[in-house]
Amino acid sequence: MTIDNITILKNQPLAPYAHTQVGGVVDYLAIPKTRAELQALLTWAKATNQPIHIFGRLSNLVVRNGGLRGVVILLHELRDIQVQGNTITAEAGADLILVTEVALEHGLAGMEWGAGIPGSVGGAVFMNAGAYGGQTDMVATSVTALMPDGSIQTFAADALNFGYRQSVFQANGGVIIEATFTLQPDAPAAIQARMDDNNFRRANKQPLNYPSNGSVFKRPTGYFAGKLIMDAGLQGKRVGGVEVSKKHAGFMVNVANGTGNDYEDLIHFVQATVEEKYGVALETEVRIIGER
Question: What pLDDT does residue 150 have?
Answer: 84
Question: What pLDDT does residue 287 have?
Answer: 92
Domains defined for the chain, CATH in brackets:
2-74 (3.30.43.10), 81-203 (3.30.465.10), 209-289 (3.90.78.10)
pTM beyond 0.85: the answer is yes
pLDDT values of the chain reduced to their tens digit, one per residue, 292 residues: 888 889 999 999 999 999 899 999 999 999 999 999 999 999 999 999 999 999 988 888 999 999 999 999 999 999 999 999 999 999 999 999 999 999 999 999 999 999 988 889 999 999 999 999 999 999 999 999 999 888 999 999 999 999 999 999 999 999 999 999 999 999 999 999 999 999 999 999 999 999 999 999 999 999 999 999 999 999 999 999 999 999 999 999 999 999 999 999 999 999 999 999 999 999 999 999 999 9
Long-range contacts of residues 232-237, Cβ cutoff 8 Å, at least 24 apart: 232/270, 232/273, 232/274, 232/277, 232/278, 234/270, 234/273, 234/274, 237/266, 237/269, 237/270
Question: What pLDDT does residue 278 have?
Answer: 98
Paired residues of 156 in beta bridges: 142
Question: What pLDDT does residue 59 have?
Answer: 85
How far is it, in rounded angstroms, from Cα 167 to Cα 170?
6
Question: What pLDDT does residue 116 have?
Answer: 87
Question: What pLDDT does residue 19 have?
Answer: 85
Please say whether the beta carbons of 141 and 180 come within 8 A.
Answer: yes
* 72 HSE (CA, 13 A, CB side): 28
Distances (CA, A) of 104 to 33, 94, 123, 178, 286: 26, 16, 21, 20, 29
How far is it, in rounded angstroms, from Cα 191 to Cα 112?
7
Dihedrals phi, psi of 227, to nearest 5 degrees = -70, -40
Q: Give catalytic residue positions.
A: 165, 215, 285
Question: What pLDDT does residue 65 have?
Answer: 97
